[in-house]
Each structure stands twice: as structure tokens, then as C-alpha cells.
Structure 1
Amino acid sequence: MWWTASRRVVSLNLMSKGLGGLLSPHVGNLSFLRNLVLQNNSFRGEIPQSIGHLFRLHHLVLGINSFSGQMPTNLSQCSNLEILYLIDNQLVGKIPDELGSLSKLRVLGLSRNNLAGSIPHSIGNLSQLCKLSLRKNGLQGEIPKTLSKLYGLTFVQLMNNQLTGEIPLAIFNMSNILYFSVSNNQLRGSIPPYIGDTLPSLFFLDFLSNFFTGVIPPSLSNASGLHSISKCLVLERLSLAVNSFHGEIPLALGTLRGLQELDVSHNNLSGEIPSFLAQLTFLKYLNLSSNKLEGEVSKQGVFLNASAVFIFKNRNLCGGIAELNLPSCKSNKVKVIAIVTAVLSFFIWCLCLFIFWYKRKKLKKNTSSIVFPFEHKFSIISYKELFRASDGFSEINVIGKGSYGTIYKATTQEGGLVAVKVLNLGHIGASKSFISECRTLGVIRHRNLMKIVNVCSSMDYHGNDFKALLYEYMANGSLENWIHQGNEEDVEHEHEHRKPGHLGLMQRLDIAIDIASAIKYLHEVCSPKIVHGDLKPSNVLLDNEMIGRVGDSG
């Protein structure tokens, strides 16, 4: 009855009047109604569909009641609606897509209900929207990209839902945003490094309890620009707690002189606590706990108030006021010095061992008479065996003499013949020649070069040093004997060859090719390259098949 008699009512404000019961469907008869404010009462039941008939309605404020059921879909007919405020009720279901047609809507408040489903993309059509509050519902899915079309949006509350995915990057370019909170969701990704440059008027940023990663952008220090609504707005609250941010707390944040709350707890932040935090005059709450921070805690500014500072579960923090119950930095320094000293001592000890080992190895290498490949054959042939094989180094078995020693023919136990070069150790340079020849001939492999069969480094029966080289025995002697005076002894051993001095043209050519092949190998192929220092006919020996062998490289 009352509703019928009051059809020309323009504004109805019954906020906080202790009213209750159901909201009559006759409210739709108030066709001239522009403002309906029933906030903070005890109304229950569903919101009547008849409200959709109030096409002149500008403000619909039904918050802090016990309204239940779904939101009326025909609210979209209230084309002049500017404020829709239904917070703190028991509404269920989805946010109607039809709300996107409310082109004049400036405030949409649906917080603290039981709404589910995703945020409709049609919200991006609310071109006049300034404030969006959807916190503490059961909303799921991703934040719609269409939200970035709302250039006038200044206030965004999406916390305490079940939102997933990443925040659309375009939202971080909405320069008018002052308040942005997405805490207690399941969002991921990182904060773009330019956030402070594109959101210069931001004074409240809350990313608490999500799955964000990366570093804290230093550009947040730029979120301190001027805004036409509130003179000199600066970032006052920054909450990045319970995520996976890493790296150090940016020193650039020291320019946020108006910062009142900073919470970066439960991350993977490292490094020392920045000294600028003690200089922030308005800082009233600081939570750095459960990170990997280290170093000395200040005794200035907010750090003087133990009830405002939380730094537990960090590593190697020390100092600070007594109420923080941190160890003394002196004891920490002693521990650090002890650890560093122990590490350095161990390193120096290892270095000394290495130097000792290296010098010993080098000394062993330098004092060794012969190196690989003869090292494993060194002294296999004894002086006694060579003495017996050459008939006591008899003059009868002498087949040549040189500046460094005498060459004997010897018969091995198996009946083979070898040439034994016994060095005259009294001659200057003989020992060096012995080592040099072993090293040189030990690494070369060519059919036209003399090969060492074995070596002997021992003592003779008189206690004197004895060194000898064993070569393959060349039955046809030297090329010099064949070209010049001849060698009858060699002919007796190999009677099938021509007499010395009677080499045919083709034989001479073959021997010349043999010599050239050997020299080319020494000069160009073998490593390291060897220059023959004494190439002459007497140093070219001929085997059973008259193949030339170059030896004694000088």
C-alpha cells in the first residue's frame, strides 16, 4: 500500500535503520525513484526482479544485508545506473553478462558474497567504471583482458578469489589506477619492470599470496606522481608476501618517502637489509621474515619498534635492538673470519701439495736419462749380455768408429745380429748425445730411417758408467763403402750382392729415393720436425735388400 501511494518518491535512504524482512516486489512501482539506499539493515531473501523496472534509478545500494539468491539479470534495464553496491550479502551464481550494458555505471561493488564462475568479459564495456570491487567471492578463471579498456578505472579489488593465469600486461598500462589488489588468488607470472612508470599514481599495491616470480622492479620507486583527485599521492602500501620473488630489495625504493607498510615476507629475497628502510619516516609496518636476508640490522627508524618489525626466519642476520633477539654481529664476524681462515688454510695447503708434486714430477722428468717410449725398455739389455754377445767387445767385431763411440757387431741369444754403439763417455757431450738420440729416434717411424732396437745404461765390470744403443744390423754396410773404397767384409757376409763400388744406375736411383724419402719425413712430417745435421754417404746404411737407411743425424 505504501509503495503504491509513494510512486513519485525520488530518493529512498533507509541506511542503518534496523529494518528487516523481505524486500517487497512492489518496489518496482516507484518509477520515479533515482536513489535506493537500504545498506546496513537485515533484509533477506532475493532481490526482487521488479527492480529492473526502475529505469530512472542512479544509485542502488543494498550492501551489508542478508540478500540471497542470484543477481537480477534485468538490472541491465536500469540504463541510468551509476552505482551498484551489493557488498556483504549472500548472493550466489554468476555475475550476469547483462551488466555490461550499464554504460553509465561508475561503481560496481559485489564483494563478500558467494558469487562463482568467471569475471564476465562484458565488464570491459563499462566505459565509465571507476571502482571495481569483487573481493572475497568464489570467482575463478583468468582476469579478462577487456578490463584494460576501462581507462578511468582507479580502484580494483579482486583479492580472496580463485583467479588463475597471469595478469594481462595491458592492465599495467592503466595510468589512472590508484588501488590494485589481487591477493590470495592463484595468479602467476612476474611484475613487469616498467610498472612504476606506467602506474605513477599507484598508492596501494597488494600481490600477497600468489605464485608470482622474478625480481621486485626498481621502477616501483616512480609510483609517486601527482593525481588530480588527491594532491601528491604516493605509494603507501606494498605487499608482495608469500610468493617466489628473488634477488635483493631494490635500493631505488628508498625514494618512496610516503611508504607506510612494506611486506615482502615468505619469498626468496637475499642480500642485506637496505639501510634506506630506517630512513622512511612514515613506515609503520615492516615484514621481511622467511627470506634469505643477511647482515646487520639497523638500530634506527622503524627498527626501534620491535612490534612493527618482523625479520624472523632469515639467515645470518645480526645486531638490531635487544627485543629482536638477534645474535651479536661480533660473534658472527668471528665465525665468518674462522670459516674464511679455515678455507684459505685448506686452499694454501692444497696449493703447497700441488707445487711439491709438480716440482717432484718435473725433477723426475729432468733427471730421467730417457723418456717414453724407451723408458719402459730402459736397461732391459744388461752389460753382461752385451759383453757376451760381442765377444767382450772384441776388435774383430768392430764395424765402425765415430767421434762419440765405437760400433760393434753382436749376436743375440736368439742368433740375430745387431749393431751396438758403445758411447765413449769420456768425450764431452757423449751422454747428451745418448739421450738426444734416444728421444729423437724413439718418436720417428719410417722404413728409410735407422731404428733403435734397445738401449743399455748400466755399469761395466770395473764400476764405470756404460751406455750403448742397439740398432738393426745393416749387412751391406754404408753407402760410402759401395761408392768409394769398398768393404770386403760386408761382401763375405752377403755374397749375393754386387761388390762394393759397382752399384748399377737403378740401384743408385733407388737409394737416392730412399734417402730423399727419409729426409722429407724428418723435415715435414714427423712432430717435432728434425733437421738432419750430418747427411753423408757414411751415414747411409744398406740392409739385406739394398734399401737405404739414414742414421746418425748429428
Structure 2
Amino acid sequence: MEFPRSNRRILWSFILFHAIFLSSINPCSPSVFTLKNETDRLALLAFKYGISEDPLGILSSWNDSLHFCKWKGVTCSRRHHQRVTSLNLTGHSLVGHLSPHIGNLSFLRTVNLSSNKFQGEIPREIGRLFRLQILDLDENSLQGEIPSNLSHCSELLAISLTRNQLVGELPAELGSLSKLIFLSVAFNDMRGSIPPSLGNLSSLTTLRLTSNNFDGQIPNQLGQLAGIIIFGIGANQLSGTIPPSIYNLSSIQVFNVVANRLHGSIPPNLGLLFPHLQQISVGVNQFTGTLPISLSNASSLELVDFSSNSFSGHVPLNLGSLLRLYILNIEINQLGSREGDDLSFLTSLTNCTNLKGISTYFNNLSGELPGSIANLSTQLNILNLGENKIFGIIPKEIDNLINLYVLHLGGNSMKGTLPDAIGKLNKLQGLSLRRNKFSGQIPPSIGNITRLIVLRLNGNDFHGSIPSSFGNWGFMEEFFISQNKLNGTILKQVGAIEINLSRNSFTGSLLLEVDNLENIRGMDVSENKLSGEIPDTLGKCQSMELLYMHGNLFQGTIPESLKNLKGIKELDLSGNNLSGQIPKYFEEFHFLQYLNLSFNNFEGEVPKGGIFRNASAISFVGNSKLCGGIPELQLPGCPKQASKKRGKALTHRVKVTVITVVLSSFLLSCIIAALYWRRNSPKKASSPSSTENQWLQVSYADLLQATDGFSSANLIGVGSFGSVYKGLLECFETLVAVKVLNLLQQGAFKSFAAECEALRNIRHRNLVKILTVCSSIDFNGNDFKALVFEYMPNGSLEKWLHPNVDEQPQLRSLNLTQRLNIAIDVASALDYLHHHSKIPIVHRDLKPSNVLLDDDMVAHVGDFGLTRFLSEAAEGFSQNQTTTSGIKGSIGYIPPGKVFNPFF
């Protein structure tokens, strides 16, 4: 934590006063060495020669036309004729090395070369300046170690070496500088432990060792620094606990141990131990326990940072008495009682009129959002209450917070409609309301916030269309409205660096203005109802890295303009109606790591170069007309062109005659064979080998590695035709569920083919998403077939409805709202299968164990091994003229309507 500039000026004034005062009562005695007046002038010239760049011409006055005591930045003593006592060249962008001749300026008391670009090491000759009181080399590019002989400068009051590139250990010898008031080596690359000898610096008021690589424990001896005001050791690698002796330092105003590896608890009476405390930063450690309720006793507190630890319990209700408080950061802890009354402290903070930032992000705070938040300080810039358990609505008086830059309420359980008043927060740059239960239409007034950079409304229940006012934004970086119930067309004026409109019901063509495309890095419009062709304008997105368009109704070929997407990393066009050949220019995409073209109508030869060399990075499932490619894909070979040599010897008429005869004979043979087969052979399912080439996308070895050898520890389910394992598949960089078919079980081959056929024809948010399939042989030469699905972290509905006896009931329970939502999700899936898929489909094995739940408890129907297409069922029914059928699915379970519907 930086020391405030105003306090730093006061401190430096204090140091300079000491320097002047000591000089007056302890005048320097004549040197024992006989020095001529030329000594200092030559030392200054040597210093000048070490400087390679002087962009501001500061040293232009350093010439023979002026006495060296009048050179810029040079001050000489009035008592000791022509002896330099101060060299102050701060902030002049000087580039060069510090000359060792600086050690010849033996009367120097002040060296201030801060805010320049000096390089190289600190000359050891500075240790000869026994009169030196202030050494300020802040903000340069100095390297090497700190000279240990600085301890010879026994008059030193201040050493400031902040923001350089210094390495090595902090010299223990510095502990002998009994007059030292200020020591800062912050923002370097120093290592080793903090010397216990620093505890001997009885005059020290400021210790700043922040942002280095110091390790080990905090020395107990630092508890001897009785006059310490600023104690800064944050952003290192310190471990252990804070020594009890540190809490005896009652003069501390700034206490910074942030970003270390410290553990233990903070004393509940901290506010009494540090009554003068102004800033406390203990964030990003491993502290436990509760927040000190005594903080209110430190009435001068301005900044409180307890973030990124494991604090628990209530947030103190008396923080409102800290009238100077401007930052409260308690994010990423375990605060909260789960009793629904954890937000009362927000009401008390309305007394803190200087508040600029509040963050309770990622805790367990539960309760209704109090309307009093609208009465918080009008100076408030950041209000981050995201990822808690907050419910209730956003008060319409929210527009009182006129200086808000960031409003984050995402990841809670808030509901209701959004007040139009949000649109009056015209300074807002970040608005996140994601993953709540907000409903209604998105207020058009949000489009009036022209400074908005980040908008996250994803994961709610918004409906209607995108407001036309959303085209007013000047520059948007993140525009996320996925996982809602939005419809209509996508505004072509909407632009951002990252756009996510997935999992809605948008229709029409994808039209985007070229002016809004230049800076796009990622766009996701997947799982909508978009149609038409892929727009040529996407070729203008030369910064594009991620493009997801799967699960729509796009048709036509992949446009040639996409060859301009040289930086693309992931491209998913699966689950559309695209046709034509796979462009060969994909081979030239050197950054492409994932390409999914599954479930389309592509045909022709699969390229073999570039990403097409890696079978685990590409997917073509459900494109039956593809051929060629690398051997690992096991696609059929492409037909070779007929030889032209023989054709040249034949006349055109002979060619036509021969071809006609051959084709006629072939067709006649096929017809005779088909009739014979139909009459003399029973109807059988297609051979597994006829379909397996379509599904093979990852190898047996890949799945073996992903599931740790199909370990029982990763077994998450067992069904009629196989077992399901949890795995980490590197090509998708995510957790997956691998369904391995037991091919010894009768019907397993047919189940595999049926499930593949069903999944290639369906796409819906409430159906389990298939990622790829594998049809291969294992290391023993046996047939191996598996399907790879998106992993559902919350398991099956069966485990929630009927948990095992060894599971804690509170961990496996569903409230009424969740049960209703799951029922709606399953009904939506069935409605899609029966009425909206390309071919009506009957599941035939719907039961709780085949309903899986994701992170957000959204239900997904899975296991299509007994699926039946209504078109083929109807055909069979019309032919057989029967109203009976065998019972399918699990023993003891009959789907509703079974006895009345012959198609099940």
C-alpha cells in the first residue's frame, strides 16, 4: 500500500528539518585530508560524463561559464567554501550510470536522484560519504545489491530505493544506523529473510519492504520499533504468524502485510492495540477467525482491507462510526451466518460520507438487499456485492449513487424487474447483474449509459428483444446477455470486444456493422435460432480469437472471407445446416486449437495439414459424406479420378455407350439384390461398423488418460449398456463425462448407434451436450465404443430425490422452487424432442437417473440409448398394423401414456 503523498511530504519535511537541525548543532570539522577546491568540480564532471542522455538539457549549465556551485541541482555549503552539500536532480529523465566519483563529494548531506533512468549498480563509494543524511534513488533502473558499507554513513536519516531492480539480501549492517528515520526498498526484486537487526533502528518511523521476494518469518525483533508509524512488508513471501510483539507498536498508523503466506488470527482488540491506525491491509493471506469488532475504536481508520482470507462470522455492525472510512474490502472470505440477516452493516455505513469503495464479493452473506444502500455516500465509486446469497430487489432510488463507476450484484438470488433509474447512473463503466433471477424486459435506459464498458446480464430470466438504445454505446469491452429468454433479431449496431448472446431465442440473420467488428476478440451466438448464411463481414474481425456459432440454423457454405481470421483459436460451427467442402485455408490457421464442424452436411475430402493433423482437436461427427483426412480419423477413402489415358482412345459416342451400359447393369444388379435381400432376410439393425467411422474423434488412449485408467474413483454412474466416468479431456480443457459401452451386453451396439443418431439431430439447452465420440479398439485388441458428454457437476436428479444414507441430508435437498424449475426444464426438453426437433423423437427411458443437473441446477435430459424416431416408428406401425409394442426403459417404470401410444 502506497503511503499517501500528503503524509509523505510531511515526512520528508520532517527528515529535512532533522538534517538542517543536525547540521547546525554538529558542524563538520575540517577534513583530515588536504583537498583543493577542484576536488568537487572534477567529481561533478565525472558524474556528468556517466550520463548518456539528458533530454531536458538540465546539465547544459555544467560548464566553465558558471562556477560549479551555481550548476543546476548543485548546492554548496556557506560555511565550507566551495564544498558541495546537496546534489538534487530529481525528475529529469537522466539516463546513465552513477559515477563512483560521487564518493569524492565528501561534504554531501543530500543525494536526490529519484525519478530518472539511472542504470547499473549503486557505487560502493557512496559508503565514504560519512556526512550523508538523505539518499533518495527512487524510481530508477538500478541493479545489483545494496552496498553493505552504507552502514558507514552513520548520519543517515533516510534511505529510499523504491522502484528499482535491486536484488540480493537486505544488508544486516543497516541495523547499525541508529539515526535512521526512513527506510524503503519497496518494489524491487530482493530476496532472503528480513534481518532481525532492523529491530535496532530505534529512531525508525517508516519501514517499507513491500513488493519484493523476502521470505521466512517476520522477525520478533521488529516489535522493538517503538516509534514506527508506517509498517509495510506486504507483497512478499513471508510465512508464519504475526509475532505478538508487533501488536505492542501502538504508534502504527499504516499496517500493511498484504499478499504473503501468513496465517493465524487477528486479535479481536486490534483497534485498541493500534488506536492511531489509518490503514490496515491484511488481504491475500491465510488468516482465519472473525473480523476484529474493535476496529471502530481506531476512529481515524480510512482503509480496511481483509480480502482473500478465510475470515468467517458476522461483519461488525459498528463500522459506521468510522467517519473517515473510504475503502472497505472484505471480499473472498467466508463471512456470513446463513441466517438471512448478514447485510445490516450496510445500513450503518450510510454514516460514512467519504466512502468510495465497498466490496463484499464472494462470501456467504445472506439476506435481503436493504433499501438503505441508496443512502450510501454519493462519493461511492465501487459497490461490489457479487457472489453472495443476497435476495430481494434493486431499490428504485439507486440513482442517488451518482458517482458509481462499478455496480456488481451478480451471482446472487435477486429477482424482480430492473428499475429504469439504473440508466441515470451515467458514470457507470461496469454493470454486472449476472446469474440472478431478474425478469421482465431489459430497461432501454441502460443504453443511455454511454461510458459503459462491461455489461453482464447473463443467466437471468429477461425476455423481449435487445433495446434499440443499446446501439448508443461508444466503446464496449464485454457484452454478455446469454442464458436468458430474449428473442427477436440481434442489433447490428451492437459491438464489443467480447460478445456473448448464446442460449436465447434470437432469430433471423446475423447482421453486424463492419465498424463494430474491428476489435472483437470473441463472439458466442450459439444455441439460438439464427438462420441464413454466415455473414461475409465476419472476415473483418481480424482480432477474433473465439467464435462459437453452434446450435443454430445457419446454412450454405463457410464463406471465403473467414480466411482473414488468422488469429482464431477456437471455432465451433457444429449443429447447423452448413454444407459444401471444408475450407483448406483452415490449415493455415497457426493459432487454431479447437475446430468443431460436427452435425452439418459437409462433404468431400478432409484436409490433412495444420490443425487437421491433431485428431483430438477437431470434430466432424455427423457429416456422413466426408472422406480422407489423417488415418486416425478412420474416414473412408475418397474416390480417385478415373484414368484419362483410356478415355482418349475412345470416341465420345463410345464413351457414352459404355457408361450407359455399365450404369444400367449396375442399377439392375442393385435392384435384384435389394429385392432378394428384402424377401429372404429379416430386418436387422445396421452393422456397428457402418456407423462407427462417423463417431471416432478421440482415441482410446486419450480417454484412458482422461479417466485415470477408467478408475473406480472416477466412476459416477452405471447403466444398462455401460458405465460413466468423470474425466479431464485435454483437448476440451474441461471436465467431461465418458460413457463407456459394455459391448458384451446384448443391444449395446444398437444403443450406441441409436444414441449417436439421436444426438446428431438435436440441440437444446435442456439436453445433455455431446462433445465427441470414440469408436476404436483397446490395448487388448477388443472393440471399444464411448460417448463423451459435458460434465454435470451436480449429478443426477435421482441422487437429489433419493440420496444415499451416508450423505448429509442438507447437502442433498431440493426446495419447491428448484423442483418446479427442474420439472419445467424436463418438460421443455420433451416438448422440443416431440414437436420442434428435425424429426420427432421419443426418449423411452425418462427417469430421475437420466436427468442431470449442472452448476446452476439447470436440468439436462440424457441417455438416448433407447431413443425412437417417430417417423420410423410410424412407418413400422403402418406396415405391421398392430397396436402393441414391447415395454422399453427400466424395469418397474412405464412412461406416461404408454398403454395408449403405440409409438413408445
TM bucket (normalised to shorter chain) is 0.5 to 0.7
Q: State how far apart, in whole Å, the 2-side matches of 1:43 and 1:62 are.
A: 9
Q: Does 1:172 align with 2:247?
A: yes
Q: 1:292 aligns with which of 344, 348, 364?
A: 364
Q: State how far apart, in whole Å, the 2-side matches of 1:150 and 1:307 are.
A: 37
Map residues 357-372 of structure 1 onto 2, 5 A cutoff: none
Question: Bigger shift: 78-87 or 281-290?
Answer: 281-290
Say which structure, 1 or 2, has more relative contact order (CA 8 Å, 6+ apart): 1
Match of residue 126 from structure 1: 201
Equivalent pair of 2:155/2:179 in contact (CA under 8 Å): yes
Match of residue 386 from structure 2: 312
Q: Identity across aligned pairs (percent)?
A: 43
Q: State how far apart, in whole Å, the 2-side matches of 1:83 and 1:137 are.
A: 19
- Secondary structure at the counterpart of residue 67 of structure 1: coil
Per the alignment, do residues 313 and 264 of structure 1 end up closer, same or farther by CA in structure 2, a change over 3 Å counting? same
Deviation at 1:124, TM superposition (A): 0.3
Match of residue 174 from structure 2: 99
Deviation at 1:198, TM superposition (A): 1.2
Q: Deviations over 1:69-103 (max 9, x none)?
A: 11101000000000001111111100001000000
Q: State how far apart, in whole Å, the 1-side matches of 2:229 and 2:313 are.
A: 30
Q: 2:414 aligns with which of 327, 343, 349?
A: 327
Question: Bigger shift: 246-255 or 90-99?
Answer: 246-255
Q: State how far apart, in whole Å, the 1-side matches of 2:172 and 2:276 are.
A: 31
Equivalent pair of 2:268/2:292 in contact (CA under 8 Å): yes
Q: 2:189 aligns with which of 109, 114, 124?
A: 114
- Secondary structure at the counterpart of residue 153 of structure 1: coil
Deviation at 1:245, TM superposition (A): 0.2
Match of residue 333 from structure 2: 267
Q: State how far apart, in whole Å, the 2-side matches of 1:340 and 1:303 are.
A: 39
Q: CA RMSD in A?
A: 2.6
Q: State how far apart, in whole Å, the 1-side matches of 2:140 and 2:378 are.
A: 44
Deviation at 1:303, TM superposition (A): 8.1
Q: State how far apart, in whole Å, the 2-side matches of 1:4 and 1:87 are.
A: 26
Per the alignment, do residues 48 and 149 of structure 1 end up closer, same or farther by CA in structure 2, a change over 3 Å counting? same
Equivalent pair of 2:354/2:379 in contact (CA under 8 Å): no
Equivalent pair of 1:296/1:329 in contact (CA under 8 Å): no
How does the TM-score come out when normalised to structure 1? Answer: 0.56
Q: 2:376 aligns with which of 302, 310, 320?
A: 302
Give the greater-gyration-radius structure (CA). Answer: 1
Match of residue 184 from structure 1: 259
Matched residue count: 328
Q: State how far apart, in whole Å, the 2-side matches of 1:316 and 1:8 are.
A: 70
Q: State how far apart, in whole Å, the 2-side matches of 1:260 and 1:211 are.
A: 25
Equivalent pair of 1:303/1:309 in contact (CA under 8 Å): no
Q: State how far apart, in whole Å, the 1-side matches of 2:140 and 2:150 are.
A: 19
Q: Deviations over 1:470-501 (max 9, x none)?
A: xxxxxxxxxxxxxxxxxxxxxxxxxxxxxxxx
Per the alignment, do residues 183 and 32 of structure 1 end up closer, same or farther by CA in structure 2, a change over 3 Å counting? same
AA aligned opposite 2:180: L
AA aligned opposite 1:102: L
- Secondary structure at the counterpart of residue 327 of structure 1: strand
Deviation at 1:121, TM superposition (A): 0.3
Q: Does 1:26 align with 2:101?
A: yes
Equivalent pair of 2:321/2:351 in contact (CA under 8 Å): no
Map residues 348-359 of structure 1 onto 2, 5 A cutoff: none
| Uncovered stretches (5+) of structure 2, i.e. residues with no partner | 1-38, 45-67, 69-81, 397-406, 418-435, 438-813, 818-904
Q: State how far apart, in whole Å, the 2-side matches of 1:110 and 1:306 are.
A: 33
AA aligned opposite 1:290: F
Match of residue 253 from structure 1: 319
Match of residue 279 from structure 1: 351
Q: State how far apart, in whole Å, the 1-side matches of 2:315 and 2:43 are.
A: 64
Deviation at 1:48, TM superposition (A): 0.7
Deviation at 1:52, TM superposition (A): 0.5
Per the alignment, do residues 102 and 294 of structure 1 end up closer, same or farther by CA in structure 2, a change over 3 Å counting? same
Equivalent pair of 2:355/2:380 in contact (CA under 8 Å): no
Q: Does 1:203 align with 2:278?
A: yes
Deviation at 1:304, TM superposition (A): 7.8
Per the alignment, do residues 154 and 94 of structure 1 end up closer, same or farther by CA in structure 2, a change over 3 Å counting? same
Deviation at 1:289, TM superposition (A): 1.2
AA aligned opposite 1:285: G
Q: State how far apart, in whole Å, the 2-side matches of 1:32 and 1:281 are.
A: 51
Match of residue 113 from structure 2: 38
Per the alignment, do residues 76 and 302 of structure 1 end up closer, same or farther by CA in structure 2, a change over 3 Å counting? same
- Secondary structure at the counterpart of residue 193 of structure 2: coil
Q: State how far apart, in whole Å, the 2-side matches of 1:3 and 1:211 are.
A: 56
Q: State how far apart, in whole Å, the 2-side matches of 1:340 and 1:176 are.
A: 56
Q: 2:214 aligns with which of 119, 139, 157?
A: 139
Match of residue 215 from structure 1: 290
Deviation at 1:302, TM superposition (A): 2.9
AA aligned opposite 1:315: K
Q: 1:235 aligns with which of 301, 312, 334?
A: 301
Map residues 409-428 of structure 1 onto 2, 5 A cutoff: none
AA aligned opposite 1:279: N
AA aligned opposite 2:140: N
Equivalent pair of 2:318/2:348 in contact (CA under 8 Å): no
AA aligned opposite 1:311: L
Q: State how far apart, in whole Å, the 2-side matches of 1:340 and 1:173 are.
A: 54
Map residues 65-80 of structure 1 onto 2, 5 A cutoff: 65-80=140-155
Map residues 337-486 of structure 1 onto 2, 5 A cutoff: none
- Secondary structure at the counterpart of residue 167 of structure 2: strand
Deviation at 1:340, TM superposition (A): 10
Deviation at 1:152, TM superposition (A): 0.6
Deviation at 1:339, TM superposition (A): 6.4
AA aligned opposite 2:301: L
| Uncovered stretches (5+) of structure 1, i.e. residues with no partner | 225-233, 333-337, 342-554
Q: 1:88 aligns with which of 163, 171, 181?
A: 163
Q: State how far apart, in whole Å, the 1-side matches of 2:365 and 2:304 are.
A: 19
Equivalent pair of 1:303/1:321 in contact (CA under 8 Å): no
Q: State how far apart, in whole Å, the 2-side matches of 1:103 and 1:306 are.
A: 44
Q: State how far apart, in whole Å, the 2-side matches of 1:33 and 1:11 are.
A: 6
Q: Deviations over 1:114-168 (max 9, x none)?
A: 1000000000011000001111111101111111101110001111110101111
Deviation at 1:320, TM superposition (A): 3.2
AA aligned opposite 2:297: N
Q: State how far apart, in whole Å, the 1-side matches of 2:203 and 2:330 are.
A: 34
How does the TM-score come out when normalised to structure 2? Answer: 0.35
Q: 1:14 aligns with which of 86, 89, 92?
A: 89
- Secondary structure at the counterpart of residue 156 of structure 1: strand
Per the alignment, do residues 134 and 215 of structure 1 end up closer, same or farther by CA in structure 2, a change over 3 Å counting? same
Equivalent pair of 1:304/1:321 in contact (CA under 8 Å): no
Q: Deviations over 1:355-385 (max 9, x none)?
A: xxxxxxxxxxxxxxxxxxxxxxxxxxxxxxx
Q: State how far apart, in whole Å, the 2-side matches of 1:18 and 1:211 are.
A: 41
Per the alignment, do residues 86 and 329 of structure 1 end up closer, same or farther by CA in structure 2, a change over 3 Å counting? same
Deviation at 1:40, TM superposition (A): 0.8
Q: State how far apart, in whole Å, the 1-side matches of 2:139 and 2:379 are.
A: 37
Per the alignment, do residues 256 and 307 of structure 1 end up closer, same or farther by CA in structure 2, a change over 3 Å counting? closer
Match of residue 377 from structure 1: none
